[in-house]
Structure 1
Amino acid sequence: MSQVTLVKRQFGHRARLALSPAGVLKTDDQAHAARTMWNLLHAWWQMMPKEERTLGHADAAIRQAREDIGFLAVLPAQAAQAVLKTYFRAWKNCWEGRADAPNFKGRIRTVMSVDVPQGR
C-alpha cells in the first residue's frame, strides 16, 4: 500500500485596487521606481566583486541611491527593501538550481506591481 503525501501549496493574492486618478499616478510612479531599483541593483551586483556582494553593502547602496536619484525617492523605504529581498531570493533560487539567473527587467515585459508589506 502506498502512502499519499499531501503538499500544501501557497498562492499569492493580487488585490486590484480602485484608485483615484492621482492614486493611479502615484502607484504607477512607485512601480516604475521599483523596476528601476531592480535594474540598478542588478547592475550594481554585476559590477561588484564577489566578496563585496553582501546584503549590507546592497542596502547601503539602495539608501544612497534613494538620496541621490530624485525619482527613486517616490519608492517607500519598505518597498525598496522588498525589491532587495526579492532580488537576493532570485539569486538564491539560481544558486540552488531552481531558476535561471536574474536579468534586467524591461518596461514592456514586466508586470507592474508594488509590494505592500503591511498587506500580508
Structure 2
Amino acid sequence: MKCQRGHKARLHLTPDQLAQIDDQGHGARAMWNLLHELWQMTPKCQRSLTRMDEVIRQARKDIGWLKAVPAQAAAQQVLKTYHRAW
C-alpha cells in the first residue's frame, strides 16, 4: 500500500487580508448562485460561455458587492467551474 503525504501551509493573515478573502469567498458563492439562476432561465439555444461572461461583466459594473470578486482571477474561474459542473 502506497502512503501519500501532503503538506499543509498555514496562513497567518492580517485582519484586513482575512476580511478581503472572506468578501471574495462570499462574492464567489453569490456569483455561483446568480449564474445558476441565469443558466436555468436562459433557453438552451442561448447558453454559451461568451454570453455568460458578458452578463458577469455587466453585473460587476451594476452590482456593487460583486466588485469584491476579482474579474480575471475568480469571476472567470467561477464561470468555468460552473459550466463544467453543469
Q: Classify the TM-score, shorter chain.
A: 0.7 to 0.9
Question: What is the deviation of 1:16?
Answer: 4.1
Q: 1:58 matched to which residue of 2? A: 52
- Give aligned-pair identity as a percent: 62
How many residues are matched?
79
Deviating 4+ runs (over 6 angstroms) = none
SS at match of 1:17: coil
Which residue type is aligned with residue 50 of structure 1?
A: K
Any residues of structure 2 matched to 1:95-110 within 5 Å, and which? none
**If the length of structure 2 is used for normalisation, what is the TM-score?**
0.86
Distance 1:46 1:25, change over 3 A: same
Unaligned runs of 5+ in 2: 1-6
Matched residue, 2:71:
77
TM-score by length of 1: 0.62
RCO greater where, 1 or 2, for CA within 8 Å and sep 6 or more? 2
| Structure 1 runs not aligned, ≥5 long | 1-12, 92-120
1 or 2, which has the higher helix percentage?
2
Counterparts of 1:16 and 1:82 in 2: how far apart (Å)? 24
The equivalent residue for 2:62 is 68
